[in-house]
Structure 1
Amino acid sequence: MTVKHRVSEYRRRMRARGLRPVQIWVPDVRSERFAQEAERQAALVARADEQSDDQEFVEAVTTPWDEE
């Protein structure tokens, strides 16, 4: 039995069970480009407290769950 035939049979069985194939593309976390972008974003997050008082605003307008 060839690989093509085995794959075809497997897909037929899965479709018979009500499933369908889905292809998902995700970032390659092993690439240098990904590592550079992750480092850039991490640095932005680390400096976020220095750049604005957004968290203070969020806390000021937030109502604790048990007080509603």
Structure 2
Amino acid sequence: MPAPVTQRVQKRRDALRAAGLRPIQIWVPDTRRPGFAEECRRQALVVAAADVADHDLDAFMDAALIDLDPEGEA
């Protein structure tokens, strides 16, 4: 007979702790909430407008990409 769920979960948690990990709790937006998609769309439009208005952004991103490339070419 398989071990009860609580025992299996505890065994898994113990193994993760033994591997040097620890549990954390984070709160994230509820994607099922009414208006979530609309708010994502609104924020994406704000970011896109800011990108268009920032003329130095493309040059900055290109320079950052070159810094990441070990060959120095994007």
Percent of matched pairs sharing the same residue: 47
Over 3 Å counting, the alpha-carbon distance change for 1:34 and 1:25 in structure 2 is: same
Cα offset, 1:4, TM superposition:
0.4
Question: Please, what is the CA RMSD of the aligned residues?
Answer: 3.1
Cα offset, 1:32, TM superposition:
1.7
Large movers: runs of 4+ above 6 Å: 46-49
Partner of 2:14: 12
Bigger Rg, structure 1 or 2: 1
Over 3 Å counting, the alpha-carbon distance change for 1:55 and 1:3 in structure 2 is: same
Partner of 1:62: none
Over 3 Å counting, the alpha-carbon distance change for 1:46 and 1:18 in structure 2 is: closer
Partner of 2:28: 26
Give me the TM-score of the superposition, normalised by structure 1: 0.52
How many residue pairs align between the two structures?
58
Give 5+ residue unaligned stretches, structure 1: 60-64
Letter in 2 for 1:10: R
Partner of 2:4: 2
Give 5+ residue unaligned stretches, structure 2: 58-62, 64-74
The whole-number CA distance in structure 1 between the counterparts of 2:46 and 2:20 is 45
The whole-number CA distance in structure 1 between the counterparts of 2:48 and 2:12 is 48
